[in-house]
Amino acid sequence: MIQTGQMPGILLCRHAVTSKKQLLESLCRRVARHAGLCERSVLDSVIDREKLGSTAIGDGIALPHATITGAATTSSLLATLDQPVEFDSPDGRPVDIVMLVLGSDRDGAGHLATLGLASRQLRASSHFLRAADSEAALRNAVIGLLAAA
C-alpha cells in the first residue's frame, strides 16, 4: 500500500485505543522500534506535524506522518481500530483506519509520494480494510489491493 508492490512494515487489526493521543503514542512506539529509531524523537516529530493541522483526510482515515532525521528509509504502519477515535477530521467523522508514515530526511520526495499513494489507496479500499477481523485478514486485504494496483 505504500509504494507499488510494497507492504506497510507493520499491520495492526482492530487495534484497541481510546484517544488520538493514545493512538499516536502506540503507533509511534511500534514503528520506531521496527525502524530502529528513537521512540521519543518519532513521537515528538509526529505530534509537531499534527500541531500544524490534523492529518485526518476524511472518511474515517488519517495519515499521520513526519520526516525523521537519521531514518534510513520510509517506514510505515497500517492500523484498523477496534473503535473509532476523534481526530479533528475535516468531515467531523472519527477515524478507524490510520497509516503512520515516517519519511527519511534524505528522501523527502519519496515520503510525499508515499503519502499521496496511500491516501488514494486507503480511500478506495477502506471497506475491505474495515472488514478484516484479524491481522492475517488485513494482510490478505492489503496483498489483494497491491495486486490490483
What is the set of active-site residues?
Answer: 65
Could you tell me if 79 and 97 are in contact, meaning their C-beta atoms sit under 8 angstroms apart? yes
Task: Judge whether 141 and 16 are in contact, CB under 8 Å.
Answer: no
Residue 70 grid cell? 537519521
Q: Which residues contact 75 (CB under 8 A, 6 or more apart)?
A: 9, 31, 34, 35, 37, 101, 102
- Altogether, the residues listed in the chain come to a count of 149
Q: 75 forms bridges with which residues in the sheet?
A: 102
Residue 95 phi/psi, 5° resolution?
A: -100, 135
Sign of CA dihedral 14, 18, 23, 27: negative
